[in-house]
Structures are given as C-alpha cells and as structure tokens.
Amino acid sequence: DILLNVKATDWVKYLNEKIGLAKMQLATAKSGTEESRVKGTAPSHSIEEFQGNYDHPAYGTVKLTVENDSLFAKFPVKKYYLEHWHYDVFNPLEVKNGVVDTSATQGLLFHFNMNEQGDIASLKLKLEPTLDAMEFERTPFTAHVDASKLNDYVGEYELSGMKIKISLDGKSGLL
C-alpha cells in the first residue's frame, strides 16, 4: 500500500473475512443438500453411458468408469464411488484403502448434462464455493477393434431396399 501510495488496508482482516464467508457458504451448501434431494428418481441413462474422460482446462481430467455395477470417479490422487442422488446427479463418496467411506460427505454433487441428441455431454462440479460450477466436457472411451475383427463386417448388405457396401480403408484399417 505504501509503494502504491494508497490508503492502508488490513489484508489479514480482509482475507479472514473472505475465508469466513467461504466457510459459511460451504456449510450452508452441505446442510441444504439432503433437504433438496428428490427421492424415487432414476438416472436418464444406464451407468455405462456416463463412462468417459471429463476434461477441464484448469482442473484436468476426471475419469469415470464402471466397476461391477457401480460408477466411480478417478481424480489424479483420489477415487470416489458415485452414489445416485437424484435424476442425473450423483454424490461422491471417497474410496479409502479400497473401502467406500460413507461417513464423510464432500458437500459436492456431480451434475451431468446432455446434448441435443440426448447423450451425456458434460459434468458440472462446484469445486469453489464462491464461484459458479466448473464444466468438464466428456470424451467417450474409444473402443479399439482389431482389423481382423472388422473384416467380419466387410460385404454388401441390403437395408430397407437400399444396397450398401462396407469395406476397409487400406491405409487406416477403418470401416
């Protein structure tokens, strides 16, 4: 403040007030979560359709996978079991030493959004209590199929009275 020749500010007081406000907002969000839950709903898609990599330019990638019949989110250092909350919203429960910890709630919900075709397109997470939710764009997992398996589909077919020909591209090995 002296270097800039401006009125002195008590930065410790200012930052403590901001931290206090953020903590209060987080506590409010956590307490209101259970009351806002809509019971008896189901996701719009099967859990397999939520799988994929969800990318954000600043926060990196969250990988969603299905293990047995459950959906999991893998961050670089943590793994979460995603408990269905309501509609296309899931509650993350941390996995510690291979066990789901149901005692600690994160105060954070995973909100999934669809595109115009009805596919899961993105994930919104409110990672910072004082900011809007961050949107992570979905990239579905790619299925790698051996070229010899693709050969099984090469041929001529008739579809609704129209003939179609399926062949392999010699360069890429794609249908």
Q: pLDDT digit string (tens) for 19-77?
A: 887 777 666 555 446 667 788 899 999 999 999 999 999 999 999 999 999 999 999 88
**pTM given for the model:** 0.66
**The two structure tokens encoding residue 114:** 């669809």
**Is pLDDT above 80 for 170?**
no
3-class state of residue 157 by DSSP = strand
**Is pLDDT above 70 for 171?**
no
Check residue 104 and report its DSSP letter.
-
Which whole number is the average pLDDT over 9-22?
85
